[in-house]
């Protein structure tokens, strides 16, 4: 269940043997000043889900993700050791957060496997993720109030990568022999944009940018002198108002593309990799011309991707046409539901 700032989306995945099948889908918009609890209740009323187990995600200022250089050590030693490093990387006190960490396969600042020297072998990069405890507790309470069981709380940043993996990572990406190629997964939500750069199926950079689809909607509202809900409808109307919408959202896309370029330049410089493609998702990229503008402004191939690709859909339980119409905005929800494979 993806609890966004303007929409709640839920996708149910059921394992048929080893194969994940989409067996439920629903979404409910949160009107301005509306109650997210009512939207969650509506989603589960409409979705007809079989499972009561729910995976949700967190994002925003309560979440911190860092890539920490550390001496190599065993996994059982890592969690204890990382706690002595948190004061350098977290803006919160240790007792305010829940944290987790994972040692990554690549060495620190690794440009390619062939360039790793003896000293590099003694170091590793550790992915540190933390979230304020009060944010997690509120999420758990929200789920339990609906009579549901919180199975896990993930980070939206990594749910994007999980959805991509679920679709099937291209063989040539996994077979990359250290030539430094990478892909940027970019999800443009309502309030913020998430970017996760993946190399060999592993995250090497992630960031949230405080620009999203609602900024585009507000720009359209100001340009046309209409209310926000009208602007949102006009933005989604496509060709009917394409010229006006393009003109209104161009400044927003310019700011977004600038931040994306800064992020890509940073990771390329520090990791010695080349981001060869931008894979775009989220409701924000449904605005006319958004993908083409980002491609041109960043100077890299960009395309939208479908998180349903390769997944079987139970047409007896799911409205396939509606599901596919909203597919680009379901990446986080699909990524969260992919936890079914490890449950």
State pLDDT tens for residues 236-274. 776 667 888 889 999 999 999 999 999 999 999 988 899
Residue 70 domain boundaries: 64-132
Residues of the chain short of pLDDT 70, as ranges, are 106-120, 169-179, 238-240
Whether residues 250 and 308 fall in one domain: yes
Q: Which helix (H) or strand (E) holds 183?
A: strand 181-188
Backbone angles phi, psi at 175, to 5 degrees: -90, 0
Taken in order 164, 169, 173, 175, the sign of the CA dihedral is: positive
Alpha-helix residue ranges (DSSP H) falling in 75-199: 75-82, 86-89, 133-144, 156-167, 171-174
Each residue of 163-195: b (16+ CB within 10 Å) or e?
A: bbebbeeeeebeebeeebbbbbbbbbbbbbbbb
End of a domain among 111, 132, 153? 132
Whether residues 55 and 118 fall in one domain: no
DSSP assignment letter at 62: T
End of a domain among 76, 104, 132? 132
Whether residues 11 and 112 fall in one domain: no
Whether residues 310 and 234 fall in one domain: yes
Whether residues 139 and 120 fall in one domain: no
* Cα 284 to Cα 326: distance, rounded to the nearest angstrom: 12
Whether residues 52 and 114 fall in one domain: no
Whether residues 148 and 293 fall in one domain: yes
Whether residues 87 and 222 fall in one domain: no
- Residue 60 has a pLDDT of 94
Whether residues 106 and 210 fall in one domain: no
**Residue at token pair 């509506």:** 42
- Residue 232 has a pLDDT of 84
Whether residues 235 and 170 fall in one domain: yes
DSSP assignment letter at 168: -
- Residue 299 has a pLDDT of 95
* CATH number of domain containing 228: 3.30.420.40
- Residue 106 has a pLDDT of 67
Reported for 148-153, long-range contacts at CB under 8 A and 24+ positions apart, including other chains, are 148/44, 148/52, 148/53, 148/54, 149/52, 149/53, 149/54, 150/54, 150/55, 150/56, 151/53, 151/54, 151/55, 151/339, 151/343, 152/55, 152/339, 153/55, 153/56, 153/57, 153/58
Other beta carbons within 10 angstroms of residue 321's beta carbon come to 8
Whether residues 190 and 46 fall in one domain: yes
* Cα 247 to Cα 231: distance, rounded to the nearest angstrom: 13
Q: Which helix (H) or strand (E) holds 43?
A: helix 36-47
* CATH number of domain containing 111: 3.30.1490.300
Strands 97-103 and 123-132: antiparallel
- Look up the pTM and report it: 0.90
Whether residues 307 and 163 fall in one domain: yes
End of a domain among 112, 132, 152? 132
Count how many domains the chain has: 2
Alpha-carbon separation of residue 182 from 89, 199, 275, 332 (angstroms): 25, 5, 5, 20
């Amino acid at each position: 269940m993806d609890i966004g700032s303007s929409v709640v989306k839920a996708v149910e995945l059921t394992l048929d043997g080893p194969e994940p099948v989409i067996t439920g889908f629903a979404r409910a918009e949160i009107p301005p000043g509306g109650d997210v609890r009512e939207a969650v209740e509506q989603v589960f009323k409409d979705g007809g889900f079989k499972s009561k187990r729910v995976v949700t995600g967190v994002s925003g200022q309560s979440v911190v993700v860092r890539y920490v250089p550390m001496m190599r050590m065993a996994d059982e030693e890592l969690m204890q050791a990382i706690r002595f490093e948190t004061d350098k990387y977290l803006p919160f006190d240790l007792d305010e957060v829940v944290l987790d960490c994972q040692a990554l396969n690549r060495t620190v600042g690794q440009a390619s496997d062939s360039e790793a020297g003896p000293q590099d072998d003694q170091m590793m990069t550790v992915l540190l993720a933390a979230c304020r405890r009060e944010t997690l507790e509120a999420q758990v309470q929200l789920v339990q109030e609906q009579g549901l069981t919180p199975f896990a709380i993930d980070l939206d940043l990594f749910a994007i990568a999980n959805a991509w993996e679920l679709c099937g990572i291209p063989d040539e990406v996994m077979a990359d022999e250290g030539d430094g190629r990478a892909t940027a997964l970019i999800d443009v939500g309502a309030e913020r944009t998430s970017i996760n750069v993946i190399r060999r199926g592993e995250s090497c950079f992630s960031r949230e940018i405080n620009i999203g689809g609602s900024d585009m909607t507000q720009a359209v509202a100001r340009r046309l002198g209409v209310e926000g809900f009208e602007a949102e409808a006009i933005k989604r109307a496509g060709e009917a108002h394409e010229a006006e919408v393009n003109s209104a959202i161009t400044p927003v896309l310019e700011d977004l593309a600038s931040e994306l370029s800064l992020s890509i330049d940073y990771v390329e410089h520090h990791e010695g990799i080349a981001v060869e493609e931008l894979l775009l998702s989220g409701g924000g990229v449904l605005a006319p011309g958004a993908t083409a503008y980002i491609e041109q402004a960043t100077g890299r191939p960009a395309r939208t991707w479908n998180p349903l690709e390769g997944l079987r859909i139970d047409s007896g339980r799911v409205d396939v046409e509606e599901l596919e119409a909203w597919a680009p905005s379901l990446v986080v929800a699909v990524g969260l539901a992919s936890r079914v494979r490890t449950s």
